[in-house]
Amino acid sequence: MIELLTPAEMGRADALAIAGGVPGIDLMRRAGLAVADACSRMAGHSGQVLVLAGPGNNGGDGFVAAKVLRQRGYRVEVLLLGDPGRLSGDAALAFSEMQAARLTAGILSQDTLDRVPGQASVVIDALFGAGLSRPIEGVAGEAIDRVNGSGVPVLAVDLPSGVNGASGEAMGPAIRASRTVTFFRLKPGHLLLPGRQLAGRVEIADIGIPASALDEVHGSEAGKTWRNDPALWGPAFRPPCLDGHKYARGHAVVVSGPALSTGAARLAAGAALRAGAGLVTVATPPSAALVNASHLTAVMVRSFRGSGGLAEMLADRRLNAIALGPGAGVGDETRALALTCLAGERAVLLDADAITSFTAEVEALAGALSRRTGARAADVVLTPHDGEFARLFGESAVGASRLARARAGAQASGAVVVLKGADTVVAAPDGRAAVNDNAPAWLATAGSGDVLSGIVTGLLAQGLDGFDAACAGVWLHGRAGALAGPALTAEDLEPALRQALAEFFSRAG
Ligand SMILES: NC(=O)C1=CN([C@@H]2O[C@H](COP(=O)(O)OP(=O)(O)OC[C@H]3O[C@@H](n4cnc5c(N)ncnc54)[C@H](O)[C@@H]3O)[C@@H](O)[C@H]2O)[C@@H](O)CC1
Ligand SMILES: [K+]
């Protein structure tokens, strides 16, 4: 279940299920039951539950849950935002079924705000879900502030109210939930920040939408979106064959910076080797050759002079993946090296200074990419963090969500874009995208990005395509960070990567 559906796609999946003969009220009853089950687990055998219900179908799920919880013996209070007479469709039906079970609703207003959260041991947030269309204001916003300030555990229905399901952005006040029950598939807003933090632990409930609906709705004009998970890229990443040769696993090159900035390239090179590249060479300017050579053992060192020298080295077609950027320095020289890397039939990763060397000149980069030929023409990966992304693509892209920005960047450049952050997004030029959620906060440390570049380059050398290598690299990097644990440094990631790979291969069988 790694597909992510936007609220609009989810609405179409609901509609397809209904058109296929599953009544909408049945979907709502199953949704509400799943919410009631989650609430029972949170509240224990007894307790008081406050249900905040909105005017749409999210509120409808809340009415079903309220009724079920009441029947289970909980004390339940329902406060409805708006006029019950204006409820319509399945929500109106669920409201009357709740009333038939002798549970009435109060109206959420200034007069009833002091009952929020009152004596409740759990608050069910059924104000807004997929239908949130503007920032929450007025009494609903005040109720959200009161709930958030109370410390009472909150169970959100589908999405924490106020969170945009497509982007994870908080549109005005937003519920801070301890748990969220969503339906059929996760939404991008459950993984993108701040939505991920506001949703708490997310559970996915099956409400009877047939899997066939997924084929029709997942991946429309906006492209497919997934949670970054081994299920996405695992099939493309096989362990070495018993009768394999190291040359079959590629030869990665990492370009070193000058004498005083060589550590980044060595971190990347070590990670590329650990990720499984058969051979790894650090390509170094002559001034840094000695310092690189004195620190490297399994990784080879070769010196080159300027972009002409690098082009000569790269004439060896066995060098099938190259990384440039970590410690490279910003300027014309790095830019020329990047164009040299791109002008050949090999996979290329550009990071850090290599990206910044194209500041506001994405057309120059895109032009070089468009001239690429051969089987690996599309295997170019850019790994910017937010600042580097803004420098390359300009401020205009800054307002959009990280998912939309990464997609726009991939489309504008023609490269796979890894927009790094706590919620790293990987996007391909054709619109495919994956959102990563396994990286611990400890991973934000000096040199961590260099290790990521190395892992991705090592995977590119083994023949993974740009999107798979980027997704796998980001996931393995996050997993290595989690295994290395608190207070990790970039040096700790390489041994932890070994453990992450061992885990992955043992699960993949
Ligand atoms: N048949 C279905 O479509 C199903 C829907 N389900 C539930 O239905 C939800 C989606 O229902 P809806 O599409 O009705 O949307 P919501 O219930 O999320 O909200 C829509 C209503 O809120 C109003 N609204 C939106 N933003 C507002 C704001 N900031 N301030 C005040 N009012 C605002 C809209 O005008 C509309 O009346 C899902 O999140 C899920 O919980 C589930 O019951 C499963 C089945
Ligand atoms: K909600």
Residue 339: CATH number of its domain: 3.40.1190.20
CA distance 272 to 451: 8
Residue 169 shares a structural domain with residue 267: no
Task: Copy the structure tokens of residue 412.
Answer: 């504008």
- pLDDT of the residue at 351: 97
For residue 22, what are the CA distances in angstroms to 202, 208, 284? 25, 8, 64
CA distance 145 to 247: 60
Is the pLDDT confidence value at 300 over 90? Answer: yes
Taking every pair of Cα atoms in the chain, the longest distance, rounded to a whole number of angstroms, is 83
Report whether 304 contacts 287 (CB < 8 A): no
Residue 382 shares a structural domain with residue 454: yes
Confidence of residue 248 (pLDDT cuts 50, 70, 90): confident
- pLDDT of the residue at 396: 62
- pLDDT of the residue at 220: 58
Residue 331 lies in a domain: yes
78-93 average pLDDT score: 97
**How much distance in Å is there from the Cα of 171 to the middle of ligand 1?**
15
Query: In ligand 1, which atom is closest to the CA atom of 165?
Result: 39
For residue 13, what are the CA distances in angstroms to 64, 187, 202, 239? 21, 13, 20, 37
- pLDDT of the residue at 222: 54
Residue 247 shares a structural domain with residue 141: no
Residue 58 lies in a domain: yes
Task: Copy the structure tokens of residue 222.
Answer: 């906006």
185-210 average pLDDT score: 97
Residue 387 shares a structural domain with residue 292: yes
Is the pLDDT confidence value at 420 over 90? Answer: yes
Is the pLDDT confidence value at 395 over 80? Answer: no
- pLDDT of the residue at 35: 98
High-pLDDT (> 90) share of the chain, %: 92
High-pLDDT (> 70) share of the chain, %: 98
Query: Which candidate, 236, 488, 249, places its Cα nearest to that of 480?
Result: 488
Instruction: Tell me the whole-structure pTM to 2 decimals.
Output: 0.96
ipTM: 0.98
CA distance 128 to 140: 10
Domain limit, last residue, from 198, 220, 242: 220
- How many domains in the chain? 2
Q: Is 327 annotated as a binding residue?
A: yes
**How much distance in Å is there from the Cα of 91 to the middle of ligand 1?**
9
- pLDDT of the residue at 397: 61
Report whether 181 contacts 38 (CB < 8 A): yes
**How much distance in Å is there from the Cα of 471 to the middle of ligand 2?**
30
Residue 148 lies in a domain: yes
Range(s) of the domain holding residue 327: 230-508
Q: Is 424 annotated as a binding residue?
A: yes
The rounded mean pLDDT for the chain is: 95
- pLDDT of the residue at 509: 77
Is the pLDDT confidence value at 73 over 80? Answer: yes
Residue 200 shares a structural domain with residue 96: yes
Which ligand does the CA of 131 lie closest to? 1
Residue 258 shares a structural domain with residue 405: yes
**How much distance in Å is there from the Cα of 148 to the middle of ligand 2?**
14
Give 141-182 pLDDT, tens digit per residue: 999 999 999 999 999 999 999 999 999 999 999 999 999 999
Residue 56 shares a structural domain with residue 194: yes
Residue 1 lies in a domain: no
Q: Is 367 annotated as a binding residue?
A: no
Give 357-392 pLDDT, tens digit per residue: 999 999 999 999 999 999 999 999 999 999 999 999
Residue 350 shares a structural domain with residue 472: yes
**How much distance in Å is there from the Cα of 129 to the middle of ligand 2?**
5
Task: Copy the structure tokens of residue 306.
Answer: 């300027």
Query: Which candidate, 84, 168, 198, 215, places its Cα nearest to that of 405?
Result: 168
Which ligand does the CA of 61 lie closest to? 1
Nearest CA to ligand 1 atom 13: 131
Query: In ligand 1, which atom is closest to the CA atom of 10?
Result: 3
202-212 average pLDDT score: 95
Is the pLDDT confidence value at 356 over 60? Answer: yes
Which ligand does the CA of 7 lie closest to? 1
Q: Which amino acid is at 156?
A: A
CATH of the domain at 75: 3.40.50.10260
Residue 225 lies in a domain: no
Nearest CA to ligand 1 atom 43: 28
- pLDDT of the residue at 353: 97
- pLDDT of the residue at 398: 61
Residue 183 lies in a domain: yes
Residue 82 shares a structural domain with residue 208: yes
Residue 190 shares a structural domain with residue 268: no
Q: Which of 11-15, 394-398, 407-411, 450-454 has the lowest mean pLDDT?
A: 394-398
Chain centroid offset of residue 364 CA: 28
From 22, 33, 57, the mutation candidate for ligand 1 (largest count of ligand atoms within 8 A of CB) is: 57
Residue 235 shares a structural domain with residue 279: yes
Confidence of residue 246 (pLDDT cuts 50, 70, 90): confident
- pLDDT of the residue at 311: 98
**How much distance in Å is there from the Cα of 200 to the middle of ligand 1?**
20
Domain limit, last residue, from 220, 243, 272: 220
Q: Is 131 annotated as a binding residue?
A: yes
- pLDDT of the residue at 160: 98
The percent helix, strand, coil of the chain (3-state, each to 5) is 45, 15, 35
- pLDDT of the residue at 231: 96
- pLDDT of the residue at 159: 98
From 16, 22, 132, 139, the mutation candidate for ligand 1 (largest count of ligand atoms within 8 A of CB) is: 132
Residue 47 lies in a domain: yes
- Around ligand 1, the residues with Cβ closer than 6 Å are 14, 24, 27-28, 31, 54-61, 90, 128-136, 157-158, 183, 207
From 90, 133, 175, the mutation candidate for ligand 1 (largest count of ligand atoms within 8 A of CB) is: 133
Nearest CA to ligand 1 atom 11: 57
Residue 309 lies in a domain: yes
Nearest CA to ligand 1 atom 26: 132
Which ligand does the CA of 124 lie closest to? 2
39-59 average pLDDT score: 95
Nearest CA to ligand 1 atom 29: 136
Task: Copy the structure tokens of residue 1.
Answer: 């279940």
**How much distance in Å is there from the Cα of 52 to the middle of ligand 2?**
9
Report whether 424 contacts 410 (CB < 8 A): no
CA distance 394 to 411: 14
Residue 210 shares a structural domain with residue 107: yes
224-229 average pLDDT score: 96
